Amino acid sequence: MAVVKVKSHYQLTLPPQVRAKAGVEVGDLFEAKVQGRTITLVPKRLIDRELALALGEVKRGRVKGPFPTAQATIRALRRRPA
């Protein structure tokens, strides 16, 4: 078990073995959850709103393709919506 110390600005440093085992990289985001006196850090990925909307369209099957060639893709893009 690794022990960490709270620094003057309430910062914690994760020991190298903990970072390696968890796959933590510089810039990673975490959600802090508190239950009683227990703090749990959960990795999070933030997603752009427009990307989230686009992924919703994909999940609903509202996509075209895949296309066999770049020209076929361009032709599909130039067609008017039905």
Which pair of tokens denotes residue 61? 């099957």
Q: Is the model more confident about 48 or about 19?
A: 19
User: Domains of the chain: which residue ranges?
Assistant: 1-46, 49-78
pLDDT number for residue 82: 62
Alpha carbons 60 and 66: distance in angstroms, whole number: 16
pLDDT number for residue 46: 82
* pTM over the 0.75 mark: no
| CATH number given to 1-46 | 2.10.260.10
Contacts (Cβ under 8 Å, ≥6 apart) of 13: 4, 7
* pLDDT tens readout for residues 38-73: 999 999 888 888 888 888 999 998 888 899 999 999
Q: Which of 23, 61, 20, 16 is nearest to 45 (CA)?
A: 23
